[in-house]
Amino acid sequence: MSVINGIVCGKVRPAVRFFCLVAALLPALAALPAIAETRLMVLGDSLVAGYGLPPGQGFPAQLQRDLSSAGRRVTVLDAGVSGDTTAGGLARLDWSLADDPQAVIIVLGGNDMLRGLPPEAARENLEAIVTRLREREVEVLLAGMMAPRNMGPSYIAAFDAIYPGLAERHDIEFYPFFLEGVALEPALNLDDGLHPNEAGIAEITRRILPSVERLLARLDG
């Protein structure tokens, strides 16, 4: 005869005994700490906000679906604002961190480049964002941007160097070009040629997912 948590499981049929044991163990199981979901925030511009797409079809929502399909307990937080520059992202960083994410994907800089803003300013803003996140022990994945090839060699060299330099200096995860495989592909973009359509978002997510997994592995470790 067994007595567990005050419940007596005596000489009964095996099926009844099984349920008796489960009932006896429930209080102990309930007392175990719950496994918390990881909170992963995507800080970015219209590429994150899902410009021109139906609700629930942007990058954060697609990433959420893909991670869930892979068995990951992750809540993806959408912190995308259309038209945002690196300065805008920095200005709203503290407010965006209200949900206390453990990891952040940064997708900023495209609007700085399209407006021809100085690469030095974009670098300083991104540096400040990454520094604040790391001071809070938040893991970071920096998604890079690339200047159009008609911007001139000096601008291209200065802008394109921002992202790998920051990633190396801060020892953070790095994905070289957020629009890899999608930029300049008409079938994967909206009519404006700048923003990915639903198929483009799916392709972006598929390509960046290994980098996201490495980011989450840093938390696991």
Which among 66, 78, 84, 195 is annotated as catalytic?
195
- The yes-or-no answer on residue 84 being catalytic is no
Query: What residues contact residue 220 under an 8 Å CB cut-off, 6+ apart?
Result: none
Query: Backbone phi, then psi, for 170, in 5-degree steps?
Result: -100, 0
30-58: b or e for each residue (b if 16 or more CB lie within 10 Å)?
A: eeeeeeeebbbbbbbbbbbbbbbbeeeeb
Which among 171, 191, 192, 220 is annotated as catalytic?
192
Instruction: Give the single-character DSSP code of 196.
Output: B
- The yes-or-no answer on residue 112 being catalytic is no
Which among 46, 78, 84, 112 is annotated as catalytic?
46
- The yes-or-no answer on residue 154 being catalytic is no
Residue 166 CB-half CA count within 13 A: 30
Q: Could you give the residue numbers annotated as active site?
A: 46, 192, 195
